[in-house]
Amino acid sequence: MNTRHNLGRALPTALILVAAFAAGLGLWLLTQPFGAAGPDMKALTRYPAPRAVAEFQLVRSDGKPLTRADLQGHWSLFFFGFTNCPDICPNTLSVLKQVRAQLARAGAADKVAIHFVSVDPQRDQPEVLGRYAAFYDPGFVAATGSDEELTRLTRSLGALYVREPAKDGQYSVDHSASIAVIDPQARLVGLFRPPLDAAAIGADLLTLANPRR
pLDDT value for 211:
74
pLDDT value for 212:
67
- Total domain count for the chain? 1
Residue 4 in domain: no
Query: What's the pLDDT tens digit per position in 84-128?
Result: 999 999 999 999 999 999 999 999 999 999 999 999 999 999 999
Residue 188 in domain: yes
Write down how long the chain is: 213
Residue 180 in domain: yes
Residue 1 in domain: no
Identify the DSSP state of 186: S
- Kindly indicate the confidence band of residue 22, based on its pLDDT and cuts at 50, 70 and 90: very low
Residue 7, pLDDT above cutoff 70: no
Residue 5 in domain: no
Residue 2 in domain: no
Residue 3 in domain: no
Do the beta carbons of residue 117 and residue 77 sit within 8 Å? Answer: no
DSSP H or E stretch at residue 47: strand 44-52
Vertex 14 angle, CA 13 and 15, to 5°: 90
Domain span including residue 28: 10-209
Ramachandran category for residue 157: left, alpha or beta (phi over 0 → left; psi -120 to 50 → alpha): alpha
Angle of the 13-31 helix axis to the 147-156 helix axis, nearest 10: 10
Do the beta carbons of residue 142 and residue 116 sit within 8 Å? Answer: yes
Most confident listed range (35-44, 145-154, 163-172): 145-154
Residue 201 in domain: yes
DSSP characters over 101-151: HHHHHTT-GGGEEEEEEES-TTT--HHHHHHHHHHH-TTSEEEE--HHHHH
User: Average of pLDDT values for 58-73?
Assistant: 98
Q: What is the CATH number of the domain that holds 142?
A: 3.40.30.10
